Amino acid sequence: MTDPVRVHLHCTMWGTTPLRLADVLFRSDRLQIVVYDYLTPLDLAMQSPSQRGRAFVDRIETEGLSAALAAAEDVTELSYESLDSLRVYDGGRIGREAVSIQSNTSHSRTVRVHGAVDLDGFVDAVRSVLSGHAVAVERRNGMAFEFNGLLGRLSRS
């Protein structure tokens, strides 16, 4: 029996040049950050992130999740027991939506969402998945910034 994906946050990015194109998968007992491509400024100018993101989803649909994970550039897995909080930012007036994943083992990651997302629906779905775990899920207004691993937040709770 396979462990299905409960919530799938599609087409996010993190890092600097090259940017990492990743999806965030919430499974029954863990979160996975799946990096499936690296992007250069030329890729961004040619609008290829959406095409590459679609190719990743197509691979999941045609070959299965195991094949998509095996073909990924990198997969980071965090058990829900190792998570402290998940903060979802709306991006404010000029920013992009972002999700800040904070662990209690000092592994933190902020991903910017470049695909379409219903933030309220996403937050509700994640809260449902994490309801049996001691992970705070917060919805915040404003922008989330990451600077060399240090997270600075400009937001209103």
The residues near 36 (Cβ < 8 Å, ≥ 6 apart) are: 21, 22, 23, 52, 56, 68, 71, 72, 73
**pTM (2 decimals)?**
0.86
- How many angstroms separate the Cα of 97 from the Cα of each of 47, 71, 78, 118, 143? 19, 27, 21, 10, 7
Q: Please indicate, yes or no, if residue 2 is contained in any of the structural domains.
A: no
pLDDT value at 146 more than 90: no
pLDDT value at 121 more than 90: yes
Domain carrying residue 141:
7-156
Q: Please indicate, yes or no, if residue 20 is contained in any of the structural domains.
A: yes
15 torsion bin: left (phi>0), alpha (psi -120 to 50), beta (else)? left
Q: Say which CATH number the domain at 28 has.
A: 2.30.29.30
Sheet strands side by side (includes 30-39)? 74-79, 30-39, 19-26, 7-14, 108-113, 98-103, 83-89, 136-147, 150-156
Q: Which residue has the higher pLDDT, 14 or 30?
A: 30
- Helix (H), strand (E) at residue 98: strand 98-103
Tokens 């799938």 found at: 8
Two tokens, residue 8: 């799938």
Look at the alpha carbons of 71, 36, 5, 84 in this order and tell me if their dihedral is positive or negative. Answer: positive
Q: Please indicate, yes or no, if residue 37 is contained in any of the structural domains.
A: yes
Q: Please indicate, yes or no, if residue 126 is contained in any of the structural domains.
A: yes
97-111, pLDDT tens digit by residue? Answer: 999 999 887 778 899
Number of domains in the chain: 1
Q: Please indicate, yes or no, if residue 1 is contained in any of the structural domains.
A: no
Q: Residue 39: what pLDDT? A: 84
Q: Residue 75: what pLDDT? A: 95
Q: Please indicate, yes or no, if residue 129 is contained in any of the structural domains.
A: yes
56-75, pLDDT tens digit by residue? Answer: 999 999 999 999 999 999 99
pLDDT value at 44 more than 80: no
